Structure 1
């Protein structure tokens, strides 16, 4: 069964979509920016700050579904300036076990919603609750 859900700790999306779509095998998380986390108001910073905030939100959303960042299979990243990829990578790598990084695409997108520098989309394996 597929469910379409929004993270109750985040503002309701301003677009016609869901924060997460969950089926029997996967958790799909829509592209997140710091603008999505703060209802478009504040929290914009440099690439490192934005990456840290978005990755923490993704980790929390996966934990809501009994998972973790270790379950991430694929990541799509959009940067307003591809020259900042090393700044992004310095934070992004902290969230994963060395040598166990998800498949990834990183592109330059000069006009990310909310004037943010980073947008991250995730596909993760779904961890089913353990039977007791």
Structure 2
């Protein structure tokens, strides 16, 4: 009977510690998006980092990078990298991305830029959608999830 009680106590303690460790942290560095928006730059839960969708917004001007989907894609990927690094993650920690394109005909141009930001052969799982309208009239938006091993 004592073994059963000990086992139950151990399981309950493990669940309690997991619940505490999984408390969401709402992270806004202000390095990418300045101002007050009704969303969080990133949310960390355990070892996972969930990024809000990123646009090709130039942080200094808070306007889209001029030059169409290519320029927006480069700036957006730099913004993603900034959010990751600010929170202790790297591009190689990205495990899933969702891509939104204003025009699916721009998918090849976007892909050419996107793949440059990841180690070849270690691309995140990904979905892509054509959409009708994005904030700031952007051509492309990407949201990502990253994971890394807990600190030792």
By the TM > 0.5 criterion, same fold? yes
Q: How does 1:52-131 map to 2 (within 5 A)?
A: 52-126=74-148, 128-129=150-151
Counterparts of 1:38 and 1:112 in 2: how far apart (Å)?
Answer: 21
Alignment pair present for 1:8 and 2:43: no
Kindly indicate which of the two structures has a greater share of residues assigned to helix.
2
Runs of 4+ in 1 over 6 A off after TM superposition: none
TM-score w.r.t. structure 1 length? 0.87
d(CA) in 2 for partners of 1:98 and 1:37?
28
Match of 2:56 in 1: 34
The Cα offsets for residues 74-98 of structure 1, whole Å up to 9 and x where unpaired, read as 0001000001110001100001111
Partner of 2:19: none
Q: CA RMSD in A?
A: 2.0
The answer to whether the 8 Å contact 1:13/1:19 transfers is no
Bigger-Rg structure (1/2): 2
Residue segments in structure 2 that go unaligned for 5+ positions in a row: 1-22
Task: Give the match's secondary structure for 1:31.
Answer: coil
Offset at residue 100 of structure 1 (A)? 1.1
Q: Kindly tell me the number of residue pairs found equivalent between the two proteins.
A: 130
TM-score, normalised to structure 2's length? 0.76
Higher relative contact order (CA 8 A, sep 6+): 1
